Amino acid sequence: MAYISFQPSDNFNTKLYTGNGSTQTISGIGFQPDLTWIKERNGTEYNRLYDSARGVYKEIYSNASNAEASNSNSLTAWNADGFALGTETGVNNNTDTFVSWNWRAGTTSGITGGSITPTGYSYNATAGFSIIRYTGTGATATVPHGLGVKPKCIIIKQENGTNNWAVYSESIGADRQFLFNDTSASSANANIFANTEPTSTVFSVGNDGATGGSGSEYVAYCFASTKGFLKNGSYQGSGQSDRSGTFCYTGFAPAFVLLSYVEAGGSKLMYDDKRNTYNLHNTRLIGSGTNAEASSDTMALEFHATGFKIRSTDSDLNTAAGTYWYLACAEFPVVSSNSKSGTAR
């Protein structure tokens, strides 16, 4: 397998911290984040997402359809190695435990194409991740994404309204509606992504209020499957939790896995390599809910050098013949730029 020119930790990192109820700086991420997603682990605060295209203080919630809120006590700055927090209890309540998932984009000029000109953006074509802000037209339109290859996954939220989050995945199709903030099953909707697959330069939106309403403002998180760093795809459930169960090949040892049942609906489950540092990865949070962190061997994954294995028969993870969507980021590729091999846990 060809080498890659960066380490995965240059572009994604999970950071755990404890709130102090005052102000504090969270460091040790290794880069300046452009997307920071924070969830309280020991309580039921909302999932809060902040990105550099919208700016500090601006939070949206993956578990709700709420419009963007401005909160000057939340995430107050990004810096070269992390971010700063204010006194907001949802991100910094005294003695509470938190997890932050952080992605780097970083390039803020040079995007062209599309019938809609973005109102703000940051992209990282090497790692396959971009943040794009745009205003809907109420008609079919195209939006540039800056990745240079077709995105495999696009997650969109209306900023100034209460439409649901919309998810495009190549494995689900551009003619279907898949919501992030609830557990409903995917359903037919040709308007949400204009029934048009993304290209290497643009993605399409229709006149649906979740992605293209006239005058509505949106933020889109775009992910391209990138060898050694990022993989979006799907797997077929086996209904078995033993060693013969479903294995998903990603080409790297995962640092983060987000997945959901597609046909019957399910929670958006999140696992990472910091809350469990070895197998089983049985500690989960829910992106579509406010649930506190929970651990159970009956809702577990195994992280391996080349992917992850499902070790559950729960319907949220592994119903026989069910289709499951996933997004994974790497800890180690199979062969990295410094010739280190990924190691199984």
**What percent of the chain clears pLDDT 70, i.e. is strictly above it?**
94
Query: What number is the average pLDDT over the span 98-124?
Result: 97
Looking at the DSSP bridge assignments, the partners of residue 97 are 18
CB-side exposure of 192: number of CA atoms within 13 Å?
25
Express each pLDDT in 166-177 by its tens digit. Answer: 999 999 999 999
CA 76 to the chain's CA centroid: 21
Reading the block at residue 262, the tokens are 């597609």
Residue 337's pLDDT is 39
d(CA 74, CA 92): 8
User: Which stretches does DSSP call E strand in 2-148?
Assistant: 12-18, 24-26, 35-40, 48-51, 58-61, 69-70, 75-79, 82-85, 97-103, 120-124, 129-135, 141-144
Residue 2 predicted with pLDDT over 60: no
Express each pLDDT in 64-89 by its tens digit. Answer: 999 999 999 999 999 999 999 999 99
CB atoms within 10 A of CB 249: 13
Residue 103 predicted with pLDDT over 70: yes
Give the pairing type, strands 35-40 and 120-124.
unpaired
Plot region of 302 (φ>0 → left; ψ -120 to 50 → alpha; else → beta): beta
Determine contact, residues 294/35, Cβ cutoff 8 Å: no
Express each pLDDT in 199-247 by its tens digit. Answer: 999 999 999 999 999 999 999 999 999 999 999 999 999 888 776 679 9
Helix (H) or strand (E) holding 247: strand 247-249
Average pLDDT of the chain is: 93
d(CA 81, CA 32): 5
Q: What does the DSSP assignment read for 313-333? A: --HHHH-TT-EEEEEEEEEEE
Query: What number is the average pLDDT over the span 48-65?
Result: 98
Sheet holding 58-61, edge to edge: 12-18, 97-103, 35-40, 48-51, 58-61, 69-70
